[in-house]
């Protein structure tokens, strides 16, 4: 005799199998329950032994909603160039017959992941696991809401021919293992070297691009570069997340594992947030260092707020984002002036843009907005051409949309700057800067150094 603690959960679980049996299609079963409060990072770490390579993490700056995912009920490997529509269609199709017992607002089936920056760029070998889009529906997803309440969503794909009791028992076993796991302290991994990839070539290419801007070929382009870090062993994303959480609480903190690789970072830049009919985007461009004293910091802030070069860099982003959102929103509110956003190492010009919309899916907004001139340039097409020509590297998911999406089409995406790729005993860290007519190669280079600092520090290194 099989002993099974049959609950309401099991009855609906069986229903999902019945639907799968009849339709001959996989059917998602998704159930959420409130659980004892748990630190999402502890949950992420607990997932390591069973689900290494299939974990995800997302935290917004206000910790309104934090997700930690362990295991994959379904991975969406997006290969199509039109990656936003491809994911949208696959997600809708996948949810068609789903049986969902949703508990609270940020729970239920949620996919987490990101897209490539530019599908037309030749793929770098280090980005091999990520395709044009990589999203995971976690088998076990922890949600921690703004009040600190914790919810566990369990997602199972039910297939024709499978035995409901067997699948249920296996899921219960994994759940118990995950929630009861004690986490050991992480082994120290040392940085052997940090190498800036072709910094001199990057500076000369930037100077050449400024000349093209002065010849009116385009108005702005963001040029990025890469730093390669070597460790004496594999660096675990858990320890990096821990540092980013301590250091970068004003940022979106994310980690997406794809087998042996992991894309991880702490970005201050929201692309779009959608909840029901409300959307919010933020324009972030124009930068200056933090001061060493409070006085100096305020002076730097004032200087940034009145600096023509930086205001120009910023205004181009506000213009493009406002125009793009106008097409998708019935009402839009755009402040006249930027304000400062201060992070540990850097301060930026910041303009929030809010709108009201009738559109169903956040992916429509992602498609319309990416790449904004904070990461691409303007005119977009010309800027992308120049990035393809001038940058020696493949950006992969750097500077591209990363985030999450739920069954209602709501979600939040940020642009993945201040980020890096973990691959084997290496990490590749990225930073870029907005190049405009008044740009100077040396100061743009210095700006990228500042932007690299949080990730270099988080992997255990230093950079000047
Ligand atoms: C492209 C990056 O930053 C963008 C976001 C904020 C400020 C920027 C700037 O001032 O150049 C960039 O547009 C990066 O950090 O890699
Ligand atoms: Mg700049």
Tell the residue nearest (CA) to atom 2 of ligand 1: 432
Residue 128 pLDDT > 70? yes
Calculate how far, in angstroms, residue 285's C-alpha sits from the geometric centre of ligand 1. 6
Same domain flag for 167 and 217: no
Calculate how far, in angstroms, residue 434's C-alpha sits from the geometric centre of ligand 1. 6
111 in a structural domain: yes
Q: Which is nearest to 344 in space by CA: 220, 436, 232, 246? A: 246
* Residue 92 annotated to the active site: no
Q: Is 314 in the pocket of ligand 1 (CB under 6 A)?
A: no
443 CB-contact burial (10 Å; exposed 0-12 / middle 13-18 / buried 19+): exposed
Tell the residue nearest (CA) to atom 7 of ligand 1: 285
463 in a structural domain: no
Cβ atoms of 73 and 261 closer than 8 Å? no
Residue 4 pLDDT > 60? no
pLDDT per position as a tens digit, 359-373:
999 999 999 999 999
- Return the pLDDT at 7: 53
pLDDT per position as a tens digit, 401-444:
999 999 999 999 999 999 999 999 999 999 999 999 999 999 99
- Return the pLDDT at 227: 98
Q: Is 210 in the pocket of ligand 1 (CB under 6 A)?
A: no
301 in a structural domain: yes
Domain termination site, one of 161, 180, 199: 180
Q: What percent of the chain has pLDDT over 70?
A: 98
Q: Which is nearest to 161 in space by CA: 18, 30, 3, 29? A: 18
Same domain flag for 132 and 202: no
Tell the residue nearest (CA) to atom 10 of ligand 1: 286
Same domain flag for 166 and 286: no
CATH number at residue 321: 3.60.120.10
- Return the pLDDT at 122: 92
Calculate how far, in angstroms, residue 453's C-alpha sits from the geometric centre of ligand 1. 13
Q: Is 269 in the pocket of ligand 1 (CB under 6 A)?
A: yes
185 in a structural domain: no
Same domain flag for 162 and 293: no
Provide the pLDDT confidence category of residue 2 given band limits of 50, 70 and 90: very low
Q: What's the CA dihedral at 156, 366, 416, 224 to 10 degrees?
A: 140
Same domain flag for 404 and 448: yes
Q: Is 288 in the pocket of ligand 1 (CB under 6 A)?
A: no
3 in a structural domain: no
186 in a structural domain: no
- Altogether, the residues listed in the chain come to a count of 464
pLDDT per position as a tens digit, 227-260:
999 999 999 999 999 999 999 999 999 999 999 9
378 in a structural domain: yes
Q: For the chain, what is the domain count?
A: 2
Same domain flag for 238 and 149: no
Q: Which tokens go with 29? A: 């079963």
Q: Is 395 in the pocket of ligand 1 (CB under 6 A)?
A: no
Ligand index nearest the alpha carbon of residue 416: 1
pLDDT, mean of residues 323-345: 97
Same domain flag for 250 and 303: yes
- Return the pLDDT at 1: 28
Domain termination site, one of 180, 205, 240: 180
Same domain flag for 133 and 224: no
Calculate how far, in angstroms, residue 165's C-alpha sits from the geometric centre of ligand 1. 52
Domain termination site, one of 152, 180, 208: 180
Calculate how far, in angstroms, residue 284's C-alpha sits from the geometric centre of ligand 1. 7
* Residue 80 annotated to the active site: no
Tell the residue nearest (CA) to atom 13 of ligand 1: 374
pTM: 0.97
Q: Which has the minimum average pLDDT: 177-186, 233-242, 307-316?
A: 177-186
Q: Is 411 in the pocket of ligand 1 (CB under 6 A)?
A: no
Same domain flag for 234 and 165: no
Which residue of the set 220, 226, 235, 274 is catalytic? 220
Domain that holds residue 107: 8-180
Q: Is 268 in the pocket of ligand 1 (CB under 6 A)?
A: no
Same domain flag for 240 and 139: no
1 in a structural domain: no
Provide the pLDDT confidence category of residue 6 given band limits of 50, 70 and 90: very low
Residue whose pair of structure tokens reads 């021919």 in the numeric block: 161
Same domain flag for 145 and 202: no
Same domain flag for 230 and 176: no
- Return the pLDDT at 8: 58
Which residue of the set 126, 269, 313, 447 is catalytic? 269
Q: Is 222 in the pocket of ligand 1 (CB under 6 A)?
A: yes
């Amino acid at each position: 005799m099989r002993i099974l603690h049959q609950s309401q959960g099991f009855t609906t679980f069986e229903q999902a199998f019945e639907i799968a049996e009849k339709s001959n299609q996989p059917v998602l079963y998704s159930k959420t329950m409130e659980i004892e409060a748990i630190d999402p990072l502890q949950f992420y770490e607990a997932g390591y032994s069973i689900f290494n390579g299939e974990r995800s993490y997302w935290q917004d700056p206000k910790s309104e909603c934090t997700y930690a995912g362990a295991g994959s009920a379904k991975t969406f490997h997006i290969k199509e160039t039109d990656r936003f529509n491809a994911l949208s269609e696959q997600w809708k199709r996948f949810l068609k017959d789903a049986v969902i017992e949703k508990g609270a607002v940020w729970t239920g089936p949620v996919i987490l992941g990101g897209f490539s920056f530019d599908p037309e760029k030749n793929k770098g070998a280090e980005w091999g696991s990520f395709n044009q889009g990589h999203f995971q529906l976690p088998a076990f997803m922890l949600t921690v809401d703004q009040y600190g309440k914790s919810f566990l969503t369990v997602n199972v794909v039910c297939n024709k021919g499978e035995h409901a009791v067997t699948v249920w028992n296996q899921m219960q076993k994994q759940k118990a293992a995950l929630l009861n796991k004690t986490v050991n302290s992480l082994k120290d991994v040392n940085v052997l070297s940090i190498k800036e990839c072709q910094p001199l070539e990057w500076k000369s290419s930037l100077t050449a691009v400024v000349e093209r801007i002065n010849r009116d070929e385009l108005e702005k382009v963001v040029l990025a570069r890469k730093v390669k870090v070597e460790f004496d062993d594999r660096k675990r994303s858990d320890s990096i997340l821990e540092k980013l959480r301590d250091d970068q609480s004003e940022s979106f903190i994310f980690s997406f594992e794809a087998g042996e690789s992991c894309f991880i970072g702490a970005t201050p830049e929201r692309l779009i947030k959608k909840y029901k009919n409300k959307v919010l985007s933020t324009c972030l461009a124009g930068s200056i260092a933090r001061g060493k004293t409070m006085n100096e910091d305020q002076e730097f802030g004032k200087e940034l707020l009145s600096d023509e070069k930086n205001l120009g860099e910023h205004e181009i982003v506000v213009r493009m984002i406002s125009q793009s959102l106008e097409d998708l929103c019935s009402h839009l509110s755009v402040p006249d002036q930027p304000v400062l956003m201060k992070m540990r190492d850097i301060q930026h010009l910041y303009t929030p843009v809010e709108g009201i919309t009738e559109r169903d899916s956040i992916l429509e907004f992602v498609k319309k907005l990416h790449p904004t001139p904070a990461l691409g340039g303007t005119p977009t097409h010309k800027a992308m051409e120049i990035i393809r020509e001038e940058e020696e590297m493949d950006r992969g998911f750097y500077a591209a949309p990363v985030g999450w999406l739920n069954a209602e089409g709501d979600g939040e995406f940020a642009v993945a700057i201040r980020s890096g790729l973990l691959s084997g005993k290496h990490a590749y860290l990225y930073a870029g800067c907005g190049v405009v007519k008044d740009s100077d190669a040396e100061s743009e280079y210095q700006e990228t150094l500042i932007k690299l600092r949080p990730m270099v520090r988080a992997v255990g290194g230093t950079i000047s």
